[in-house]
Amino acid sequence: MARIEEYIPLVGQAVIDDLRLLSERLKGKVIQHINSTPVGGGVAEILSRMVPLLRELGVDTKWDVIKGGEQFFDVTKKFHNALHGRPEVIAQRDFEIFMETSRQNIESVNTYGDIVFIHDPQPIAIVKRKTANKWLWRCHIDVSNPDERVWGFLMNFITHYDSAVFSAPDFSRKLPIRQFLIPPSIDPLSDKNKELPQEMIDFVLRKYEIKKDKPIITQISRFDRLKDPVGVVEAYLQVKKYIDCQLVLAGGTADDDPEGFKVLEEVKEKAKNNPDIHILLLPQNDIEVNALQRASNVIVQKSLKEGFGLTVSEALWKAKPVVASNVGGIPLQIKHKYSGLLCHSIEGASFALKQLLSSPAYAKKLGENGREHIKNNFLITRHLRDYMLLFLSLYYQEDVVHLC
Ligand code: UDP
């Protein structure tokens, strides 16, 4: 794990000094994160970097994961989709299943933190244990157009929190509690994002039998319908009529996402054993994801809905040209025609992919601008600062945190 000083060459001494100043003010407080999976997906990705760095800064930080069976995660996946605005049939029984598991977690999860930081809807009901400590609810989902029934159900819990945190301005909701806007981040020094030697990149390409002499288009994502992997294959097939290139669709599964294998089958069916389409079910392997991103000519993220889309930041940080849907948190990261290309359809994606593959100088410029944008806005050092200010703000009634 990178030590905090190692970030100085990237972000400057003053940024690290600020982090130390803020962490001093949190001495004696225990911060307890709770989510629903230790690996897979953006939340676990961020916590696995955030928690050790906060500890290194001297902030006593813990991370606990709730338990739940298959039925519970089937229901929470439906909630997830419905909150993103996708039509889902949700029965009264689903709410009961959610509450049955929640009651067990309310009984069994020890909420010892001075600040209990709950991520997403799965553990939301644990707030029923609230005593004198402070409680935060972090929503990583795009709830700008949620299914009102599910949102209304969650409101029964949200109102018990001290504050809520959203990733983008459009996601904020009318709430009787304080709200904060804090976008996610990537860690430039993690295995996922650090520089890699060319031999390592070549090794991973050989391992997955991906050719070096044909352009590579890549989408890294869980096999989830909202990431539209089938749409990516369709866009690729349109590009392939004009440009001989390969597609890499790489994705693992997350413990709290039961749909993955079904979607993977749909993608394989669409790809019809095309030798230039590489569908990779990766075990959690950050170096391999990093290598695949670095080996690619263009990165695509054709999500139908997206909370933030860490994969976009990861690609831009590697100065890769990106084609991504204009949804959720993606436009925070991509300014169209400046730091990438935004698209709204399969045709739009294939048009943008063709444009980038046939104009390498333009593609390079977009990638370089993208890296600068990520450096200024979406690195973990900014996120650490925002979170520590958020923690401190819980102890101040007014909107000012006094540091002196
Ligand atoms: N990821 C990974 N392996 C995979 C698929 C995804 O390591 O096979 C990572 C990806 O690099 C990113 C995170 O999981 O860091 C996904 O976060 P994102 O915000 O893009 O989407 P989410 O899965 O949270 O909807």
> Which of 267, 290, 310, 318 has most ligand 1 atoms within 8 Å of its beta carbon, as the pocket-test mutant?
310
Residues paired with residue 219 on neighbouring β-strands, in sequence order: 249
Q: Do 280 and 386 belong to one domain?
A: no
Q: What is the pLDDT of residue 12?
A: 96
**Position 387 pLDDT exceeds 90:** yes
Q: What is the pLDDT of residue 259?
A: 84
> Residue 340 falls within a domain, yes or no?
yes
**Position 398 pLDDT exceeds 80:** no
> Mean pLDDT, to the nearest integer, of 240-257?
89
Q: Measured in whole angstroms, how far is the alpha carbon of residue 247 from the centre of its chain?
A: 22
Instruction: Dump pLDDT digits (tens) for 186-225.
Output: 999 999 999 999 999 999 999 999 999 999 999 999 999 9
> Mean pLDDT, to the nearest integer, of 162-185?
95
> Mean pLDDT, to the nearest integer, of 356-382?
98
**Position 128 pLDDT exceeds 90:** yes
Q: Measured in whole angstroms, how far is the alpha carbon of residue 19 from the centre of its chain?
A: 23
Q: Do 163 and 224 belong to one domain?
A: no
> Residue 35 falls within a domain, yes or no?
yes
Instruction: Dump pLDDT digits (tens) for 322-355.
Output: 999 999 999 999 999 999 999 999 999 999 999 9
> Mean pLDDT, to the nearest integer, of 64-84?
96
> Residue 100 falls within a domain, yes or no?
yes
Q: Do 141 and 217 belong to one domain?
A: no
Rounded Cα distance, 288 and 192, in Å: 8
Q: Do 146 and 219 belong to one domain?
A: no
At residue 282 the predicted structure's pLDDT band, cuts being 50, 70 and 90, is confident
**Position 7 pLDDT exceeds 90:** yes
Q: Do 233 and 373 belong to one domain?
A: yes
Q: What is the pLDDT of residue 403?
A: 74
> Residue 98 falls within a domain, yes or no?
yes
Q: What is the pLDDT of residue 400?
A: 76
> Residue 341 falls within a domain, yes or no?
yes
Q: Do 251 and 102 belong to one domain?
A: no
At residue 15 the predicted structure's pLDDT band, cuts being 50, 70 and 90, is very high
Which range is least confidently modeled, 52-66, 74-88, 242-256, 366-380?
242-256
Instruction: Dump pLDDT digits (tens) for 267-278.
Output: 999 999 999 999
Q: Who lines ligand 1 at CB under 6 A?
A: 41-42, 45, 192, 220-222, 250-252, 282, 289, 307-311, 314
**Position 142 pLDDT exceeds 80:** yes
At residue 237 the predicted structure's pLDDT band, cuts being 50, 70 and 90, is very high
Cα 46 to averaged position of ligand 1 atoms, centre (Å): 10
- Pick the atom of ligand 1 nearest to 250's CA: 8
Q: Do 177 and 39 belong to one domain?
A: yes
Cα 397 to averaged position of ligand 1 atoms, centre (Å): 36
> Residue 238 falls within a domain, yes or no?
yes
Query: What strands, in cross-sheet order, belong to the sheet with 60-65?
Result: 60-65, 30-35, 115-119, 134-138, 163-166, 178-181
**CATH code for the domain in which residue 143 is found:** 3.40.50.2000
Q: What is the pLDDT of residue 314?
A: 98
> Residue 400 falls within a domain, yes or no?
no
**Position 79 pLDDT exceeds 90:** yes
Cα 403 to averaged position of ligand 1 atoms, centre (Å): 36
> Domain span at residue 306?
198-377
DSSP string, 297-338: SEEEE--SS-S--HHHHHHHHTT--EEEES-TTHHHH--TTT
Q: Do 146 and 232 belong to one domain?
A: no
Q: Do 36 and 151 belong to one domain?
A: yes
Using only C-alpha atoms, the chain has a radius of gyration, in whole angstroms, of 21
- Which tokens belong to 49? 């970097």
> Mean pLDDT, to the nearest integer, of 217-236?
96
- Pick the atom of ligand 1 nearest to 281's CA: 8
Q: What percent of the chain is predicted at pLDDT more than 70? A: 99
Q: Do 320 and 205 belong to one domain?
A: yes
Residue nearest to atom 14 of ligand 1 (CA): 41
- Which tokens belong to 40? 């897979």
Mean of pLDDT over the chain: 95
Q: In 246-281, which positions are buried (b, 16+ CB within 10 angstroms) versus exposed (e)?
A: bbbbbbbbbebbbbbeebbeebbebbeeeebbbbbe
Would you call 145 helix, strand, or coil by DSSP?
Answer: coil
Q: Which residues 6+ apart lie within 8 Å of 292 measured at CB?
A: 204, 208, 218, 220, 248, 250, 280
Q: Do 174 and 232 belong to one domain?
A: no
Report pTM.
Answer: 0.95
Domains: count for the chain: 2
> Residue 192 falls within a domain, yes or no?
no
Q: Do 293 and 282 belong to one domain?
A: yes
DSSP string, 85-114: T------HHHHHHHHHHHHHHHHH-----S
Rounded Cα distance, 341 and 325, in Å: 8
